Structure 1
Amino acid sequence: MSSRSETDIADKTASLLLPWYDRHARRLPWRSLPGKRPDPYHVWLSEVMLQQTTVATVGSYFAKFLARWPTVSDLAAAELDDVLTEWAGLGYYARARNLHKCAKRVADDFGGRFPDTEDALLDLPGIGRYTAAAIAAIAFDRPAAVMDGNIERVTTRLYAIETPLPDSKPALYKRVVAMTPGKRPGDFAQAMMDLGATICVPGKAKCMLCPLVQICTGKDIAETLPRKKPKAAKPTRRGAAFWIERSDGAVLLRRRPESGLLGGMMEFPSTDWTEHGSERFEDTGLAGLSADFRPAGAIRHTFTHFHLELSVHRGQADHKDAPPDCHWCPIDALGDRALPTVMRKVAKAALSG
């Protein structure tokens, strides 16, 4: 493609797309109407939740968080365990820990008001380049180049970029910078997202409905774009989880280390998750606690980088005191604990096994 045709696309995209957005913008819980500036807290909260998660899933979580913590200062004052509990099911729990840290920074250092520039936003916990650009553009109308999966796909097709992702990301970013208008950059970013979500969809795009079809150079090969490098097969890790019940009905929970996978979340004591895995209770590291176990089934769960298979064992112990980093939890209070989805599967297997 010549530099001249690239310039034409960059010059015309916003003028063609924004009128379409004014008519067809999706109505989302965190979004203001076109031309209206939303609450930065709502933008930030939704953008963090939407990382690696679908719009359909996020809606109910967003509503719950706002109902419980209406402002960023309210969220900053919350207990981390409460935040993790409300987050349970969204996955990628480091996001929840960073969400809480970021709320505290905004409350303590900025008086409960988000900074309005990309550079200042990037300095906050859990905010990377994409999230900083999205908040700056949508909440503060800064001409920031926003790049999510939908925008990558639209831009790839618009410019017929055949370099596979992720290698094409620098070229895509350069073009999004060129397309982003000085006026209504937040609406432009959301219009690009909506176009990718409803018209320029994965697979067969709905080109006849697209407001950019007249300037799109990749419409004839849209189904093949964006191209991606082959993904490596996910390995499978294995281990064992132990449902340990006291005679009064309380169940033993252990807090995972703050760093690493599911950091700070609660778990039923389990062995390390490795290629071969261990079925031995002794390998949970709970020295001094003994119980007789019986098999209660097995569960399978998929994380971003690996599959996990856990055998579930159920036993009874009469230890009044819990080991370090553990506590006894009444069964009917498990729903109030920060249990990740994989541990909810363990509970279901234990109670039905």
Structure 2
Amino acid sequence: VPGIGPKTAQKLIADFGSVENLLANLSSLKGKQKENLETYAEQAILSKDLATIIIDAPIEVTWADLALSPRDDQAVKDIFTEFEFRTLTKRLFGESANTADTPSETSEAAPAPVFSHLKTIAEVPHTYHLADTPEKQAELFAQLAKQERFCFDIESTSLDRFAAKLLGVAFSWTDYEGWYLPYSEALLPVLRQALSSPAEKIGHNLKYDLCVLHQHGIEVTGPIFDSMLAHGLAFPDQRHTMDYVSETMLGYTPVKLIDIANAAPSPAASDDLFAFAETKKASKELDIASIPLATLAEYAAEDADVTWQIAGKLRPLLDDQEHVFSNIECPLLP
């Protein structure tokens, strides 16, 4: 009832014994308190009914019916399988839950191998090209035009896809080989043509790349293969960052952007990505645009190369989820 708080309500109930008796004796009250109770009498009764715990509800159950009975493990497994509760299945039944005695369960993708040693760019022979001349750019686009599928990865100035400025695009279509193309508006027509070709476009977390490219007037068309989405389907209980996927599937640790951003390059090491990362000093701010072009090119080409290799590992693992991946997940990308 408006105007009557908990303390006043307790005093009134103590004085009159019940809400009903209080409402029957409103003549003993005065002023606004009496007026509010007269106005909201029905609300007071309704509030009491709603707050009253019913202890005589008719139920057709006995104490014996409520006794804990043995769990129907197979029924639980079937439900967990239907709704893909893999973590709960392992927690309740252990690692052996997906065995031949549960034929109704769909088998999960094989777990990622465990590598005793994670390689780095310093240990793996690779060929990364910087397309910084008209001749090299012509070679890059001529090669792209021949591919049935290729991987691409953009470099930009910000993680905010609406504020990011495009710095360049990296490409890969062969293991341990990649290209980096510094962006300029003069390249817009050929970039549009390459990224709208019928070839399958591969990338990791393509939602970001597609949005940034769209902001720059570049639309990516043709079949899409997002390795982050593919990994999410194959290994739903794992993390899906490119670094993590690379380490668990390739046994390879890519150079991290924080390791090369804002570093003061030494003249002898500026073209050597690994050496450049080793000499980088810690910084909380990442100024990607200040990274030497040769270093950024190798970093970007490595990302494209790694993503290309990851996609090759993931493709066979999709199996019965290929329809979900190709016809539901990837088409939802912007």
Which structure shows the bigger proportion of residues in helix conformation?
A: 2
Q: Do these two structures clear the TM 0.5 threshold for a shared fold by scoring above it?
A: no
TM bucket (normalised to shorter chain) is: under 0.3
